[in-house]
A and B are shown apart, each in its own frame.
Chain A
Amino acid sequence: MKAWGVLAAALGAVAASGAVADDVFTGANVLGVTRVESAAEYLPLAVAWGAVGASAAAPAADAFVITANLEDGDELYVYDRAAGRYHVFTLVRDAAGDTWAAARVVHVGTGGAEVATGSAAAEVSLARGYGAWLHRSGAAARADKAVYLAGQAESEPVSITFAAATGRAKFGQTLFGPPAGAAGDFALNGGAINWSGAVKGDEIRLPQTDGTLQTVEYTGTKWVRKYWERSANGVLRLKRDENPVIPRGQAAWYARKAGNEALTVTWSEK
């Protein structure tokens, strides 16, 4: 994370003042920072930014999240869609600075089990529009620390492909994160993504801090979250949220209903 030394120092000031949620730093390129507020132990993060200094390039795993307010031993889980494998990196903090060390991962599939020793974090790219998991093990630190994502601001359209269900699975699931770098939560019905091809029964599942999932359903024309709310007199009523959002900087599962092909959508900045 040496490349983020100056940026991390600047962020310290942002966090201390609590003045703004998103700041933009200008230079040879336009850099952006997203502050993600969550106390979740396992936090799904959106790959919203590009690699610094390289137009339209994906960020590497070691430059995706700012480590200054993470803790030694925190982990990053990155899924390699082409290989069907997980990369896991552990944050090592020592006198030389912060580094993401590759961890050994045992992959267990229908054909057996295999041990992968892992690639260096600098060699593993994260694709914009998708997501990765951050595991913060320290409960006290999670309670009052945000997570900062940073990278080069990109406005080029991004294609995101949601996997089809395989085998007996009822859904194919893909962790995606809106590539929008703008402030504010991402409105699913906001028009930045053309959902043509989504089918009734597709779901977007937002991981919650307590580990549960909040489900948003596609009705055929838009995304709607249905939930039960208890009124003052104790009566349960079914409510509808027709403007569901994905919290800024966070990722969610796209659950593609079985029987449908993989779906590719395009995000365009709005």
Chain B
Amino acid sequence: MAVAEASTLLTVSSTGPDCYADGSPVVDGEYYALVSIDSGANFAGFAADGTVVDPATSRLLFALPLAEGGCCPKTRVAVDPALIASGARLALMVWDTRRAVRGAPVVRVDGWGEVADSSACVGFASVRSASRATAAVRSAVPADVPVPRITGIRRDGNEFVVTVEGTSSVLDYNVRAGAQIGQLNRADAAREPVTGDAARAIELRIPAADGETAQFFKVVRHGGTE
């Protein structure tokens, strides 16, 4: 794998112990993933097959079985600069793949948690946890969950109503809103989250923000991070 000389060079590590959701430390050979997340975006998580849920705002740089002694040992990384958007942050995640078949070509991700992050920069950077804080592992999104798609928007009184298709009945949905497309800083902007429905479109109602001349909406999984 060739990389440019002007690659972003970084060291990733965690002090550990990094733990699974049940509190047990990660086993040797557990996967750590490095993700580039666009500026202003919230990480939407991983699908069970290890892909990122929202490839429009995040990119999986690597996922490797690095775990040793309950942590990610110091590992040097050279990332081609073309893979990291300007202003993006890099985050090191630990996976829960205990139920995957070891050595199988396909990894099954049953959970993940963020261990450490860093602002990406040209030259050198460091992605390492600053304390021994345990990384809680959250459930991953099932691999077959589609990406929701906004199919319509209308004004209804003092609310915008967004019509969404491609949702899953196992998830609740909400909206992130903002006055600029790159700054969707109003989390949980919908009046209330709505459970998805694979068979038909759902509607999310967003109270209009006072004084804003423009608004942008993005449908996300409810919970604030996706």
CB neighbors of B among A35-65 (8 A)? 42
Residues of B within 8 Å of A83, CB to CB, are: 2
Could you say which interface size class chain B belongs to? 20 to 34
A86 touching B78 in the complex, CB below 8 Å, given contacts A106-B62, A114-B1: yes
Complex: A115 Cα to B64 Cα, angstroms: 9
User: CB < 8 Å: which of A42, A79, A81, A167 contacts B123?
Assistant: A42
User: CB < 8 Å: which of B5, B79, B123, B124 contacts A108?
Assistant: B79
Q: Does A211 contact B (CB under 8 A)?
A: yes
A174 pairs with B5, CB closer than 8 A: yes
A173 pairs with B3, CB closer than 8 A: no
- Rounded to whole Å, the gap between the CB of A162 and the closest CB of chain B is 10
Q: Does B81 contact A (CB under 8 A)?
A: yes
B76 pairs with A169, CB closer than 8 A: no
Q: Does B171 contact A (CB under 8 A)?
A: no
Q: Does A29 contact B (CB under 8 A)?
A: no
Complex: A17 Cα to B218 Cα, angstroms: 66
User: CB < 8 Å: which of A109, A113, A169 contacts B64?
Assistant: A113
B contacts, CB < 8 Å to A: 1-7, 9, 34, 61-64, 75-83, 121, 123-124
Q: 27 A-B Cβ contacts within 8 A?
A: A79-B5, A84-B1, A84-B2, A84-B4, A85-B2, A85-B78, A105-B76, A105-B78, A106-B64, A106-B78, A107-B1, A107-B77, A108-B61, A108-B62, A108-B77, A108-B78, A108-B80, A108-B83, A109-B1, A110-B83, A113-B62, A113-B63, A133-B124, A169-B82, A173-B5, A207-B123, A253-B6
